[in-house]
Amino acid sequence: MFGRLDVFYSNYGTIYFPLSILILAALFWEKPITYIISIWILTLADPFAAFIGEKSYKHFVIWKDKKSLQGSLAMFSMSFIISMIGTDVLTRIYDAAFFIPLHILFGLAIFTSISATLSELISNRGTDNLSIPICVFISYEIYLINYTHGNLSYLLSWTFISMIIFYTAFRLKSVQANGAISGYLIGIFVFGSGGIKWIAPLILFFISSSILSKINGKPHPKRDIIQILANGFIACLIALLYFFNNYDFLLPIFYGSLAATTADTWGTEIGYLSKSKPRLILSNKFVEKGTSGGITILGTIGSIMGSALIASALVFFNPSYKLFFSIFISGIIGSFFDSIIGRKFQAKFYCTACNKIIEDRDHCGQRTNHSEGKIWIDNNMVNFLNACIGALSALTLIQLF
């Protein structure tokens, strides 16, 4: 169904399709041109890409679904045609206030088609029926609004820079291909929502965490799309809320979310360098390095430094001691509760092959047995909740200070 190369019943595309339409209609009914373009690309470009892709003999896997170069080119080409012709036709039908110059329309079609193609590439079991129209809608609006505000050159510059950053990260094996693509899309959405002030903490988080991962020498799996979304989805959502509603109070909440994720990541990476064994938080019990809920003095210092880094970035743009301490404390609170959740609720599994308690559902080439904790709370869920707590803490603290 729509862009998948496997059989219909193995995905949830028929659920995601009406859900995406419902979300866009409920939130953006007053933007009919963008809404219709998004739905057309899903209903026409995606199945066309699947049809072409099925004819290809060479496939590759970006995340879990099989894709092909021919299918991706078909997706881009059809999306480009729909964006170009559809925009021109719909602006006349809806009697738009202004018509887009041809070169701007050409750029809009390319920008939108890239997002459509990338969101289709990282789909899994029909998720492209949800991600394609939403990513297309956001990209289309971001391009046009940055154009009308005179910021299009900055957006395009960041698009090029972002490609270099994530391609380099992929080549250095810091991220998987699906992680690089999802990180690129998040970066485009965040920068397009507010410019350098909004993208700065995200850059600091990504680059610093990648550097620390290389420094400590710990074996790291390359970050995938789930890990990227666990740390960056809430921040991206807040940035988009600002973009569509222009609520200034969302900026410190955005920073609070990233302060928490940075504090947690710095605490983990720097704590790994500690020569002493970590203790379970709120306990004197020693545990092995890497155990969720385990903390060290060095790791705690790392969390403080990570949170201070993001708080300082906000103060650079908005000088205010109140903002600094709001974001700084939010990051510490998020990291603290991350350790609590990791200790009390994160799922643990028993591997019968090596007789160890681990945090992965698969180990030693086989499925593990659930041992303790909530089975749906894995490390990615803990990181997601950490980002939520950081954002909520910032929302509370900026009201108190």
Hey, where are the domains in the chain?
Answer: 1-150
Helix (H, G, I), strand (E, B) or coil at 295: strand
The pLDDT assigned to 2 comes to: 40
DSSP result, 303-364: HHHHHHHHHHHHHHHS--HHHHHHHHHHHHHHHHHHHHHHHHTB-EEEETTTTEEES-SEET
- Going by DSSP bridges, is the β-strand pair 356-358/66-67 parallel, antiparallel, or unpaired? unpaired
Which pLDDT score, from 0 to 100, does residue 234 have? 97
**pLDDT score, position 245:** 94
Integer angstrom CA distances of residue 280 from 167, 336, 375: 38, 12, 20
Q: What percent of the chain is modeled with pLDDT above 70?
A: 96
- Helix/strand/coil percentages in the chain, nearest 5: 70, 5, 25
Q: What is the token pair recorded at 124?
A: 């899994």
For the four alpha carbons of 55, 58, 62 and 66, in that order, the dihedral sign comes to: positive
pLDDT at 87: 94
Which letter does DSSP use for residue 366 in this model? E
Tokens of 314: 């906000």
Q: Are the C-beta atoms of 83 and 108 separated by less than 8 Å?
A: yes
- Return the SS3 of 369: strand
Residue 362 or residue 324, greater confidence: 324
Is residue 310 over pLDDT 80? yes
Question: For residue 7, what pLDDT is reported?
Answer: 39
Q: Is pLDDT above 50 for 289?
A: yes
* pLDDT score, position 365: 75
Q: How far apart are CA 314 and CA 179, in angstroms?
A: 26
CA distance 75 to 42: 10
* Phi, psi angle pair for 42, to nearest 5°: -65, -45
When the pLDDT of each residue in the chain is averaged and rounded to a whole number, the result is 90
Q: Tens of pLDDT along 139-148? A: 999 999 999 9
The answer on pLDDT for 124 being more than 90 is no
What pLDDT score does 220 carry? 63
* Lookup: tokens for 205: 């988080």
Q: How far apart are CA 386 and CA 259, in angstroms?
A: 10
State the pTM of this model: 0.92
Provide the pLDDT for residue 6.
42
316 or 361, greater pLDDT: 316
Q: What is the pLDDT of residue 219?
A: 61
**Contact residues for 232 (Cβ-Cβ < 8 A; gap 6+):** 183, 186, 202, 261, 387
Residue pLDDT, tens place only, 20-71: 999 999 999 999 999 999 999 999 999 999 899 888 888 888 988 889 999 9
352 band by pLDDT with thresholds 50, 70 and 90:
confident
Strands (E), 45-188: 60-61, 66-67
Q: For residue 217, name the pLDDT band (cuts at 50, 70, 90).
A: low
The residues that bridge with 362 in the sheet, in sequence order, are 367
Greater confidence (271 vs 239) lies with 239
Residues 205 and 265: beta-carbon distance below 8 Å: yes
Average pLDDT over residues 76-86: 97
233 C-beta neighbours (distance < 10 Å), count: 16
Mean per-residue pLDDT, 94-122: 92
Are the C-beta atoms of residues 116 and 79 closer than 8 Å to each other?
A: yes
Percent of the chain with pLDDT over 90: 66
What pLDDT shows up at residue 1?
A: 39
Q: What is the tens place of the pLDDT at every residue in 372-400?
A: 888 888 889 999 999 999 999 999 999 88
pLDDT at 5 over 50: no
3-state secondary structure of 367: strand
How many Cα atoms sit within 13 Å of 278 on the Cβ side? 26
Is the pLDDT at 8 greater than 60? The verdict is no
